[in-house]
Amino acid sequence: MMQPVTPLVPSQAGVTAGTAADASPWLLRPCQDTAQQARELALELADRLRAAIDARGQALLAVSGGKSPLALFAELRRQELAWDRVTVLLADERCVPDGHPDSNGTLVREQLLQECAAAARWQPFFTTLPSQPSSDWSEAELDCLADSANQQLAALPWPLDLLVLGMGEDAHTASLFPAAPGLARALESEQRVAWVRPATAPHARLTLTLPTLLAARAIYLPLSGERKRAVFDQACRAASAEAPISLVLHRALQPVQVWLAP
């Protein structure tokens, strides 16, 4: 049985407790290892999805790509619930064609939308891209791609019911990369999606904007390893655009649930 989450307070972590609107701290869930983290977080997410479906008849789930969530996806796709009432989208996507090794969408379809979860509705950011690599695209082309994504996502039942984020060792989350071209707009835009062009990672990206992330009804941040724990501890100290994950921790409308594994 999952242990209850507990507030992250100064006596536990040696940092100032983060708050949502200076009212509610983020929540810390220690895990013995990444296997327990994936297994019990999948159970938690399934319960949240069932509750959203019971309350509103449908659920909107945003997940992150990369290698970190693969174990979670393997557990979550086996959960029995009304997946046909769940819409799945990404927190961010690399601007690469479908089937590309770096495509988060391909990864989610192959690793999450299988078994029980195969019945879920998949909502991509885009279906076609300019033919040349995204490094050659102009800002006007990126604007058009973001505008198209916003039109495609407009009819979804916002806000997100569940958001599963990741975090890089540079403190980025989704594709909110520190100091990246496009970051300022992605932090402030009232649109759901914006583009970012990180200098430290390949490919231009589309990402859910910070206001869209912050409005989610439930936010989960699974982390593992000492290096990411150190980045997280630093982000707990203050909200700063130099560490975008800190903006989520300190400003989310609901306390961020941080699941930590060694």
In-domain check, residue 1: no
Q: Is the pLDDT of residue 7 over 70?
A: no
Q: How far apart are CA 189 and CA 191, in angstroms?
A: 5
Q: Is the pLDDT of residue 19 over 60?
A: no
Instruction: Write the DSSP string, 128-186.
Output: ---SS-GGG--HHHHHHHHHHHHHHHTTS-SSPSEEE----TTS-BTTB-TT-TTHHHH
Question: Any idea what the CATH number is for the domain that residue 204 is in?
Answer: 3.40.50.1360
pLDDT for the residue numbered 213: 98
In-domain check, residue 204: yes
Q: How far apart are CA 122 and CA 17, in angstroms?
A: 36
Q: Is the pLDDT of residue 75 over 60?
A: yes
Q: How far is CA 89 from the centre of its chain?
A: 10
Instruction: Dig out the tokens for 74 from the structure.
Output: 């393997």
Number of domains in the chain: 1
Look up the domain containing 44 and give its range. Answer: 19-261
Q: Terminus-to-terminus CA distance in the chain, angstroms? A: 20
In-domain check, residue 11: no
In-domain check, residue 12: no
Q: Return the minimum-mean-pLDDT range out of 22-31, 137-146, 161-170.
A: 22-31
In-domain check, residue 234: yes
CB 188 within 8 A of CB 132: no
In-domain check, residue 159: yes
pLDDT for the residue numbered 14: 30
* pTM: predicted TM-score of the whole model, two decimal places: 0.90
Provide the strand spans (E) within the chain.
6-7, 19-20, 24-25, 27-30, 59-63, 86-90, 92-94, 121-122, 162-164, 193-196, 205-208, 219-224, 257-261
In-domain check, residue 48: yes
In-domain check, residue 14: no
pLDDT for the residue numbered 117: 98
Mean pLDDT confidence for 238-246:
97
- Each residue of 101-140: pLDDT tens digit? 999 999 999 999 999 999 999 999 999 898 888 988 999 9
Mean pLDDT confidence for 187-207:
96
